[in-house]
Amino acid sequence: MIRIAIAGAAGRMGRSLIEACDATPGVTVGAAVERADSPFIGRDLCALAGGNERSVPFLANLAAATGQFDVLVDFTNPSATIANLEVCRAAGKRMVIGTTGLDGAQRAIVDAGSRDIAIVVAPNMSIGVNLCFKLAELAARVVGDDTDIEIVEAHHSQKKDAPSGTALRFGEIIAGALGRDLRACAVYKREGETGPRRPGTIGFESIRAGDIVGDHTVLFASAGERIEITHRASTRATFAAGALRAAQWIMGRERGLFDMQDVLGLR
Ligand code: NAD
């Protein structure tokens, strides 16, 4: 039995992860962590997920629970994820990081941590999105230099970061396939007299509305034809299922930094 600790357990993804753990043979929730001022602290997990008393209380301190889990699955926010990483690194615990919006310095900390522990980081744990990453890379290699490339994403109105981590990952993959540096060719905003489209750029558009779980379209447009690669997530369960698959896969790794392409054997 793999014991999973969930950081951000009362959040949208946390709740979906609890349900996924309950429905998946071979995994169990070993610990549930929330922010110190969460109303759930000290209460049992069943206060949230229903069912019988499980003796898994919400904790504010991951360090106090390192004996209760094998893998931490973290869907919180960048600063909480980095704090949790330090705890996992010190305790020799594996990590699956779903949190998006990590900046360059935070990514470097994750990178350094992976010298000691095994970490899967993926801005999108869905199997379909990770297949689309592969398709976008192929499309970029075949038609990319001759096309205008735009990445359009839509998410619910409460999402904190933009563009989505998934959209940025599409951008990195496409830029990498074309030998470009995303930092130099990304266009995040257009307003006013923008003039003609600058060749070689990759544009991003973010829609924030309602309860959209997560849509992404990569558009390759040239004179006479367009290719669109679209993925739509209709439930968070798809991310939770991917995260648990990553948690099971990572039990076979001692250290190193991995993503869902590794987990799914798409490398
Ligand atoms: P959410 O706001 O619903 O949940 C986040 C939870 O983290 C909240 O319950 C919050 O109280 C808790 N939290 C905050 N600080 C904490 C701390 N220090 N310790 C423990 N818990 C803490 O957000 P969400 O929609 O569940 O998304 C969470 C993150 O996951 C975001 O970065 C989002 O972009 C990302 N996400 C990734 C994927 C993926 O597939 N990788 C999918 C969906 C969302």
CA 22 to chain centre: 21
In short, whether 130's Cβ falls inside 6 Å of ligand 1 is no
> Per-residue pLDDT tens for 132-164?
999 999 999 999 998 999 999 999 999 999 999
> Per-residue pLDDT tens for 93-145?
999 999 999 999 999 999 999 999 999 999 899 999 999 999 999 999 999 99
Helix 237-250 / helix 12-23 crossing angle, nearest 10 deg = 60
Residue 240 has what DSSP assignment?
A: H
In short, whether 124's Cβ falls inside 6 Å of ligand 1 is yes
Catalytic site residues?
Answer: 155, 159
Domains in the chain: ranges and CATH = 2-121+236-263 (3.40.50.720), 127-233 (3.30.360.10)
Q: How many CA atoms lie within 13 A of 148 on its CB side?
A: 15
In short, whether 113's Cβ falls inside 6 Å of ligand 1 is no
Q: Which amino acid is residue 83, in one-letter code?
A: A
**Which numbered atom of ligand 1 lies nearest the CA of 242?**
40
**Which numbered atom of ligand 1 lies nearest the CA of 100?**
32
Q: How far is the CA of 163 from the centre of ligand 1 (A)?
A: 16
Q: How far is the CA of 180 from the centre of ligand 1 (A)?
A: 31
Going by pLDDT thresholds of 50, 70 and 90, the confidence category of residue 47 is confident
Q: How far is the CA of 100 from the centre of ligand 1 (A)?
A: 9
Contact 6, 17 (CB under 8 A): yes
Q: What is the pTM of this model?
A: 0.90
In short, whether 259's Cβ falls inside 6 Å of ligand 1 is no
The rounded distance, in Å, linking the Cα atoms of 234 and 241 is 13
> Per-residue pLDDT tens for 49-61?
665 567 788 999 9
Q: Using CA positions, which residue lies closest to atom 40 of ligand 1?
A: 124
